[in-house]
Structure 1
Amino acid sequence: MAQIPHVLVVDDEAAQREMLVYNMEAAGFRTTRATNGEEALESVAEDPPDVIVLDWMMPLLSGIEVCRRLKIKSETAAIPVIMLSARSEDVDKVRGLETGADDYVVKPYSVTELVARVRASLRRVRPATVGQTLTYDDIVLDSETHRVTRDGSDLKLGPTEFRLLSTFMEKPGRVWSRDQLLDRVWGRDVYVDTRTVDVHVGRLRKVLTESGGADPVRTVRGAGYALG
């Protein structure tokens, strides 16, 4: 459940919003909704998505302003934003992209194409969720077959350890706090003590080093864990 890609859909028009949510969920994504810009910013703070599908024209706070605020904050700057707009002029596209949008889709659009663009964004930020093979040094993780090898030897990982490793391998070097790992690996709706993270990281380390290889998981005192 925790590995299902999360898409935030932001649109003030109910019919358009629900159509997008329906199609994103049919494509296998977990979704949350926001009906305006303020709601979108609150949603990102509470439950950070992997991709944001954001309408430009909204009352109170426009999609452009939401995008600008997200991109100037280090903790949300890397979240891909796909801007939806009826504005088709090149100058509008340029404005949207210069504000920080990662993609710009003009209305009316093909839902199939939009889903493909969401998947393309996910390939950049969470490759394991779209079936890609991840590699770090001599460790290879195949997210489609759920197979992990190190130096050519198969590793037997439990489902939680597999999700932990894929999270680490998607962003080598990034320091993950225990709370961030709980959200990503266990999910926000499951109550798990942060000490459980330490237990599963210990199990992951044991499997990764059982054939004598160096431990690739680094403990960052007071912060969490990182790969490499």
Structure 2
Amino acid sequence: MSTVLVVEDNVTQQQLLCWVLKKMGLTVIIASDGLEALEKVRIHSPELVILDIVLPHMNGYEVCRRIRADSKTQKIPVIICSAKKEEFDLYWGMKQGADAYLTKPYQAKEIASTIKSFLKNEAQLAG
């Protein structure tokens, strides 16, 4: 079973993402800030990271840069999922190494299809 790290400080958004991911048959780990996210990436080696931008202690752009800078984590797909919708935000997120950039609010089907496109063993994904 694939593991996904959800980095989101808003509890409602955390719950929504967890619901979608668990429905897909994935294991979910949660981090509420940037520093916790890096620690959980190091400990759990998730197959995918879903990352908000506006976070306590360290923003998502910096988290993404650090994931990409570490040879042990640089190949983990990172999906930024943020309320920041300006063209520059999308550009900057991709420039930091994100593999995809989704804006809030998003549809469950949109996040599910994006996740499926990055996980190798799609056969184990439900729904």
Structure 2 counterpart of 1:28, from 25, 28, 35: 25
1:6 aligns with 2:10: no
Deviations 1:177-206 (A, max 9, x none): xxxxxxxxxxxxxxxxxxxxxxxxxxxxxx
Q: For 1:44 and 1:85, locate their aligned partners in 2 and report how far apart those are by CA, in whole Å.
A: 19
Matches within 5 A, 1:46-195: 46-122=43-119, 126=120, 129-131=121-123
Tell me the C-alpha RMSD between the 2 structures: 1.1
Provide, for residues 25-46 of structure 1, a one-character-per-residue CA deviation record: whole Å limited to 9, x for no partner.
Answer: 0111111111111111110111
Relative CO higher for 1 or 2, CA cutoff 8 Å, sep ≥ 6? 2
Q: Which has the larger radius of gyration?
A: 1
- Distance in 1, matches of 2:31 and 2:15, equals 11
Asked whether 1:16 is paired with 2:13, we answer yes
3-state SS of 1:28 partner:
coil
Task: Give distance in 1, aligned partners of 2:5 and 2:57.
Answer: 19
Q: Give 5+ residue unaligned stretches, structure 2.
A: none
SS in 1 for 2:56: coil
User: After TM superposition, which residue ranges in structure 1, 4 or more long, deviate above 2 angstroms?
Assistant: none
Supply the distance in 1 between the matched residues of 2:17 and 2:68 (Cα, whole angstroms): 23
Instruction: State the AA in 2 paired with 1:18.
Output: Q
Q: Which whole-Å CA distance do the structure 1 matches of 2:108 and 2:7 have between them?
A: 15
Deviations 1:74-113 (A, max 9, x none): 1101000000111211111010000000000011111111
Q: How many matched pairs?
A: 124
Matches within 5 A, 1:188-227: none
Q: Distance in 1 between matches of 2:38 and 2:110?
A: 26
> What code does the residue aligned with 1:73 have?
D
CA-CA distance at 1:114 after TM superposition: 0.4
The 2-side partners of 1:115 and 1:53 are apart by: 12
Q: Percent of aligned pairs with the same residue?
A: 36
One-letter code of the match for 1:28?
G
Q: TM-score, normalised by structure 1?
A: 0.53
Q: TM-score, normalised by structure 2?
A: 0.93
